[in-house]
Amino acid sequence: MRNVLIHDYDTVDFYELWRTVQGYLPPRVEQLQAIIDENLPAK
């Protein structure tokens, strides 16, 4: 997907891109939040 976005962006299937974003990001957000919570002091 990255190569298509970088080199062939005029043919991107935005529906497929959005499905990928929706499937890929939520677990990463949870992982990043856990890392932040472990490593940054609470305000």
pLDDT at residue 13, rounded to an integer: 81
Does the pTM surpass 0.75? The reply is: no
pLDDT classification of 36: cutoffs 50, 70, 90: very high
Mean pLDDT of the 2-28 span: 78
Q: Half-sphere exposure of residue 5, counting CA atoms within 13 Å on the CB side?
A: 8
pLDDT at 7: 64
Kindly state the percentage of the chain with pLDDT values over 90.
26
Residue 34 predicted with pLDDT over 90: yes
- CA 15 to CA 11: how far, in whole Å? 12
Rg (CA), the chain: 15
